[in-house]
Chain A
Amino acid sequence: MTPRPTDKLDRLLVEELSARHGEPDWMRQVRLQAWEKYQSLSYPTWGPDVSGLDMDKIVPYIQPESQMATSWEQVPPDVRQSFAELGIPQAEEQLLAGVAAQYDSEVVYHRTQEMAAEQGVVFTDLTAALHGEYEPMIRQYFAKLVTPGEHKWAALHTAVWSGGTFVYVPPGVQTALPLQAYYLLNARGAGQFEHTLIIVDEGASLHFIEGCSAPRYNVAALHAGAVEIFVGKSAKIRYSTVENWSRNMYNLNTKKAQAAAGASVEWVSGSFGSMVTELYPATILAGAGAKMSYHGVTLAGSGQNLDTGVKVVARAPQTACTITAQSLADGDGVSTFRASIAMTPEATGSRASIDCQSWQLADQSRSDSIPVLDIRAPQVDVGYEACVGTLDEGIIAYLGSRGLEREQARLALVNGVVDGFAKQLPLEYAVEMANLVTSQMKKANAKN
């Protein structure tokens, strides 16, 4: 079927998407109901201004055959420059820009799949999985955590999702190496509305790494993906993200995990790119003794408004949650930290500990902290402590007297702040992260 030559984001497009992928009828119904929801919901009244988003530009790039760029020269200069700064070799640059030969992409994709299979893990493209033995499982879980009714972007996502990852870890399987979805996505084209569905069965464990530090470029400027994670009894997941979307992007991703009794969810989340980000990984502690931890770093440079945070709903007894967040703003950037910690009356004996540091690195920058705690359970122990400050001028002066230029000194201090976060990432990410911070702060100060 040839793509319909139209720019309209409408119900017909949703129907066509479903037909093109040959989806089961239930998925088509899910999409259409989500489309209705998208029509009826209004835009959220809080958060960064997204009025600059041109919804019409989205359509052409939903077509799965489209490439993000057909040649390296079409990728804007500052994006190409970013690759160079991050020290990524030419071949990978081309792969990441979507211009690699099909052969290369397929090789990488298959290699990742082989590694997963060796560990007994199902790791595959979500669309393909809809036609296989896991279709009933997907039907049971798809759009049950990130529901269309949640907000307008979630509704849009569920209607027009395209591309994505399905992971199933059978009971008791402890994955030896982290799974990285990035190459998988690129091999299949558009990463705008990708849907990640992960199910970790009882007693199993998984480390999943999403994205990478290289800038991901997309002309349509909207990323409204969704991640749904179901963690079974006593199972464990660590979900690591280092996000560096290009500076024209609206990154409105929705991530949610649900933990059964004794399960554990760890989020490690670094937000550095995009023009606007709204990202609040949410965890539902649904079973007794479930635990979550979150460690996030957000660095907003000039021209960026990064609104990130974390949500927890504890609705079972004896749950625990630990949150550490560092929110930095440089240049004229805005970094906002939001937290929502809710404990229902069933969360007896639960604990929560939240520690947030906000940093304002420049006179024009802005750092806001907006936590809300809603605690209705007895016998709980909840502590939220946060502070806002700036880099210590005394230390900068001291480092100056030891030969560091002001920018070098500031960079050293900022790296010190994010060091604890970097240590939780696999080594290659930690190295790239240092480069990422440098490049962010340079950009911030270039605009000043």
Chain B
Amino acid sequence: MGASLQIQNLRVAVGEQSLLAGVNLRLAPGEVYVLLGPNGAGKSTLARTLAGDESLRVTADKFCLNDQDLLPMTANERALAGVFVSWQNPPAITGVTVANLIRISREQLGLAASPWETRRDLLETLKVVGLDGSYADREFNVGFSGGERKKLELAQLLSLAPQLAVLDELDSGLDADAIKILAENLERVRDTQVTMLVITHRTELVKKLRCDRAGVMIRGQIVYEGDQNVIEEIEKDGYTKYFSSKYDSTADR
């Protein structure tokens, strides 16, 4: 069962620069929430904040996963508590194979199975996300294209059974076929009741995915929330209207 997420007045800065200016967001367990917004709005910052990036200065009135206060928790502790964040730019890790990364992550999260089962599951998962079995023994992300890295992020989502999945631009670098596969997989994940925060600035993926709510982030704040129709409106008219002071409390300053 997915976790609930409660965020009130989340402010994030790096140095003197403010990145998130008071974000409010509540996700019910098992909810699928799509967060849209133009580039630079702060969507990825929200994802990294949830992941536990220590280079950010974070304050909030409330920042909880179920009953647990996330603020004092390290990245490692949050992962163990069930938070999974797929990265916009996953790094390459020389010396660690794809298989080892997933196997050890599962071990750390208490999902260990026999090595044979783990290997079998991994090969199956790679196939499902559209990657050849040979990727298992390659060094993690070394020489991989952007699209391949995103597929591996999805493979990890499918392998690590989180309670909250924060998916940061998982659709970038993917062509139409790959987006179709991604949408199918996310539907399957959704069926396991995982709470999902799907972050993107494109509409192709989220049109295919049924979401419960959709929000629009402008300049570090979520300025509007609605249902699936928000996605259609943005596809038609873009983000312009959300920049007006009717939505954006920071506009006209």
Q: Do chains A and B touch in the complex (CB under 8 A)?
A: no
* B interface, CB within 8 angstroms of A: none
